[in-house]
Structure 1
């Protein structure tokens, strides 16, 4: 029964593409109310200040809307569990701000409003970068969220440290070239010079910030969008697991730290700021959350001391490339009483000064062109530089079951860290566990 109601709501949302009126869907006068959920404090704080501006803007247009902000601070896992329960029970809010990995499953379950018609008639959609659109598009070819941020995965490095050690800081063309440099650093300092999230302690980061950006640049298909199946064995995956094994064998990864319950603390929050571990795989949010003035481990004059490399080529025939990372987007409940108002809120928050303030607050990259001169985002040169890479970045295709693939990646890389498997053995272990967790119907032959 619920599925029929959801489909009916989606159909209704597609038909209601005219101007938003001051009347509710039931014909009652006065402002309509839209409930918006934020589950991260930094995002909630900035949106709280923006809501009155949205309400005033809508009132001036003769379309009064009241926004009820629900702030429920949760971890990613807690949020996923709770919002799924709310959608299932029919108590979910009208608009939900969440990462793209959550959108896939919820859209597939029929919980989210299809936004294609709304986006096609919105001039702002034309300003979005192709890699962002590709990342937001679901398997059925449709969109169920309005992206309001993006990220770029890179290898961050301490320019000051490497220059002091006499190490080349130019973009490494291949991983072999970079490994040769890292071995020189190791010989001079006696410390592991590189951190890439790996193992079980880092959780999902071992997938999204660890293996995924590396394998994405190999040209091998990991997830086939047309069939909706995962390809668990490929030249790219084999090369990536071999790379992990090579890094561990050469003592270039801080294995002991990666076994720490919070492995980001001794690596990204202590050794990278100290300069004893000068290279770290990281997303563009690191400029703000990790090493910025108000970050977890501030580095004074970080823009002068830190540089970024694109991921080097790992297999023949490929080139160094930045990797597009995920970002949050506003999704609309398929059962929203006022879908037009809900979408209007999502679009407004993803535009102009409102977007610039959110991006600056969370250290995210703009998913669309046109904000380079909009304060306060225009005052963030590191984010503007990262945004420039979106035009040439690689967007890894991801699909339903990503959490299970992540679990298998964590287990396989943990075996390498523990010395229990070489690259080939880890690749086999990954493929076997991922297939077991996904089920054979979601695995390509």
Structure 2
């Protein structure tokens, strides 16, 4: 079958006639569905798979063509543009997006509920419970099909630590890890760990720094049953105390965190060169940051870099990794070809097609049955991440997360600049978050 691709860069307007959800051939002709990718690496991976999907459908006697729409955008640009397209009725049939985008679009009624389709699909039974739980929205329905999983943990330069004579076994507690970090800093005279903090990092302070720490403390933070946030707890206090201890001990690269684009000197320079050997990071780092085609390649990265689970912060807890979600396929609620659109999403989320995408993106499989397939089976770092996923902790997210994120950024900034200790930051956070959320989203 013929694969037609519509390429539309961020600065250009999409061709409305090629994007309308009601796209299709003449009466009795082929069904045409459109698929949107807004990251180039994902588009490149899917581009190679579409002819295989079309051939698989033809073998079933179904004439389906897929138009791949590649519109390279930032996350915020994507959110604005796809919302406008869905509102105007010009959005594609299938939309590949980060899980954080799904909640708002589903809540606005723009995405098709997939419950019945997934119930009839054997592949859904192979998804890990954590992935299914994250995909389910607060109304109890599932509006997207995840095709990857991110796992957040602590990455470290094994070669550097071994060269310094520092223990590389799994630290059981933060006290254990801090002791090692102090030993590194004493020998190098430089900060030894990156934990995103402050306002310059923006949402990354929340999603890559603060939230993964809170998630493992055992304290309720967001309650999906009530849709409210608990803004004071043992876990939150311990998290702010941790930031303060790391800052006071000179273990965090404070000046880098206060400057614009703090990820550039830290993740893209100092970690690759080995001078900042421990960083909080997600699975995507293997490809996008330090892989051969990443922003800052590390030669022989799989032998030089390894991961730890997050150590226990609160007594009674154990080391853990965090399931950070990943991209998922959503289906336009107004599509006239729902069955074909869902079948495309399911096919791309299965077998060899999924294995190839996971390697191209650098993500863990969200389901079983992929670990023995090439080329995924030859990626030990991704296989290890998949194993961690099975026992990982879910990061709490819900309505109001952007406001809570802003409060966390501001509170950790106060620690970095020396205006608050842990207790002061916790108090400031609780007050700011309550004001930003409003009473309806704060636990009584």
Secondary structure, aligned partner of 1:265:
helix
Moved over 3 A (4+): 24-28
Q: In structure 2, how many angstroms separate the alpha carbons of the residues matched to 1:222 and 1:90? A: 37
- Partner SS state of residue 393, structure 2: coil
1:38-187 mapped onto 2 (5 Å cutoff): 38-187=37-186
Q: Partners in 2 of 1:203 and 1:238 — Cα distance?
A: 21
Equivalent residue of 1:178, what SS? Answer: helix
Matched with 1:376 is 375
**What corresponds to 1:245 in structure 2?**
244
- Give the Cα–Cα distance (whole angstroms) in 2 for the partners of residues 79 and 401 of structure 1: 20
2: distance between equivalents of 1:106 and 1:230? Answer: 22
CA contact (8 A) 1:101 1:402 kept: no
Secondary structure in structure 2 of the residue aligned to 1:383: helix
Structure 1 contact 273–298 (Cα < 8 Å) conserved: yes
1:3 aligns with none
Normalised TM-score (structure 1): 0.92
SS of the counterpart of 2:390? helix
CA distance in 1 between counterparts of 2:333 and 2:423 reads 45
Partner secondary structure for residue 314 of structure 1: coil
Instruction: For 1:243 and 1:139, locate their aligned partners in 2 and report how far apart those are by CA, in whole Å.
Output: 31
Superposed counterparts of 1:44-443, under 5 Å: 44-443=43-442
> Does the CA-based 8 Å contact 2:270-2:276 persist in structure 1?
yes
Task: Determine if contact 1:372/1:378 at 8 Å carries over to the other structure.
Answer: yes
Q: Distance in 2 between matches of 1:314 and 1:326?
A: 23
**Equivalents in 2 of 1:405, 1:105: separation in Å?**
16
Structure 2: gaps of 5 or more residues: 1-22
Unaligned runs of 5+ in 1: 1-23
Given the two structures, how large is their TM-score scaled by the length of structure 2? Answer: 0.92
- Paired with 1:42 and 1:25, the residues of 2 have a C-alpha distance of 27
CA distance in 2, matches of 1:26, 1:354: 26
Cα deviation for residue 377 of structure 1 reads 1.2
Q: Distance in 1 between matches of 2:443 and 2:26?
A: 50
What does residue 20 of structure 2 align with?
Answer: none
**Partner Cα separation in structure 2 for residue 117 and residue 291 of structure 1:** 40
Q: In 1, Cα distance between the equivalents of 2:170 and 2:28?
A: 61
User: In 2, Cα distance between the equivalents of 1:138 and 1:389?
Assistant: 24
Q: Distance in 1 between matches of 2:274 and 2:151?
A: 23
Question: Which secondary structure state, in structure 2, belongs to the residue aligned with residue 66 of structure 1?
Answer: strand
Output the CA distance in 1 between the equivalents of 2:299 and 2:231: 43
Q: The residue matched to 2:198 in structure 1 has which SS?
A: coil
Write out per-residue CA displacement over residues 128-182 of structure 1, whole angstroms, 9 at most, x where no aligned residue.
1111111111112221100000011110111111111111111111101111111
CA–CA separation in structure 1 for the residues paired with 2:90 and 2:82: 9
* Contact 1:292–1:298 (CA under 8 A) maintained in structure 2: yes
Query: Take 1:425 and 1:93, find their aligned partners in 2: how far apart are those partners?
Result: 48
1:57 match: secondary structure: helix
1:34 aligned residue: 33
- Structure 2 residue aligned with 1:20: none
SS at match of 1:155: strand
- Quote the offset at 1:439 in angstroms: 2.1
Per-residue deviation, 1:27: 10
The 1-side partners of 2:413 and 2:242 are apart by 14
Task: Tell me the C-alpha RMSD between the 2 structures.
Answer: 1.5
Shift of 1:26: 11
Q: How many residues align?
A: 422
Q: CA shift at 1:25, angstroms?
A: 9.8
Cα 1:26/1:191, change in 2 over 3 Å: closer
TM-fit CA distance, 1:401: 2.3
Partner residue, 1:21: none
CA distance in structure 2 between the aligned counterparts of 1:332 and 1:399, rounded to whole angstroms: 21
Work out the CA distance in 2 between the residues paired with 1:89 and 1:232.
38
**8 Å Cα contact 2:193-2:277 kept in structure 1:** yes
Q: In the alignment, is the contact (CA less than 8 A) between 2:193 and 2:252 conserved in 1?
A: yes
Give the conservation status (yes or no) of the 8 Å contact 2:24–2:32: no
Looking at structure 1, the residues matched to 209 and 269 of structure 2 have their Cα atoms a distance apart, in angstroms, of 19
